Amino acid sequence: MTSKLRLGVNIDHVATVRNARGGALPDPVRAAIAAEEAGADGITAHLREDRRHISDADIEGLMAALKGPLNFEMAATPEMQAIALRHKPHAVCIVPEKREERTTEGGLEVAREENALAHFIAPLREAGSRVSIFIAADQRQIEAANRIGAEVIELHTGAYCDAHAEGRFDVRDAELRKLTDMAAFAHDLGLEVHAGHGLTYDCAPSIAALPQVIELNIGHFLIGEAIFRGLGPAISEMRRVMDVARNS
């Protein structure tokens, strides 16, 4: 029996569009409420150190307005830890962050930073947030995430999705094999397995079909697709695509 697959909608790029003009519109909190109404099981927002999209006020607005869970994405810095401890979101997802990158390019290097990360996440867990670690489909990183006490890992699907979109089929198939094996490996260790980055209607199905994956987090594609279909229909179609893949 395969468990239900949750859809987390990342609303960062509503804030990207807002910030392009420097005003208040479009409002990411309004997008998050619309996403919930369209069937999102949770909302993800990444408060970056440089505040290039989501702002501190957005996080406050989301905490106040959301009916469902907020997955607060952040780097492992003292500033972000203090913000997370103040808000106590349902989930905290620890990601690597570089100022010069356009998006979160790789997974977190957990194995090398094991002690520091174990100390970093302990107060977040004590405050009641579920801690998720965004990592590559790599056994070493998964074992380290388990040792530091994370409850959840999110597998980085970016390399798989890029290879899929560019028709590099050998790489695509190799990436999918890694994701398949590592989802099973992490699940056997007792970790909850999520996945995300770069997912579209075309590449989400193979990930949705992995029985151990119980949540997909999707942002950029859905916000782009909303231009053409509207946000609610874009999310409903993703829900449909995921459900078809899950149940086939």
Based on the shown chain and the rule CB under 6 A, indicate whether residue 217 belongs to the binding site for ligand PXP: yes
**Binding-residue total with ligand PXP (CB under 6 A):** 19
Among 14, 59, 203, 218, binds ligand PXP (CB under 6 A): 218
Q: For residue 142, which of 72, 106, 96, 193 has the smallest C-alpha distance?
A: 193
- CB 117 → ligand PXP: shortest distance, Å? 15
Q: Report residue 218 as tokens.
A: 């999707």
- Would you say the C-alpha torsion 166, 171, 173, 175 has a positive or negative sign? negative
d(CA 76, CA 90) in angstroms, rounded, equals 17
**C-alpha dihedral sign at 12, 18, 19, 23:** negative
Which residues ranging from 91 to 120 are in contact with ligand PXP (CB under 6 A)? Answer: 93, 95, 103-104
- Residue 172 touches ligand PXP, criterion: CB under 6 A: no
Contact (Cβ atoms closer than 8 angstroms) between residue 47 and residue 73: yes
Q: Which stretch binds ligand PXP (CB under 6 A): 22-30, 33-41, 138-146, 219-227?
A: 219-227
141 contacts ligand PXP (rule: CB under 6 A): no
Give yes or no for residue 192 binding ligand PXP (CB under 6 A): no
* Of the residues 152, 199, 209, 210, which one makes contact with ligand PXP according to CB under 6 A: 199
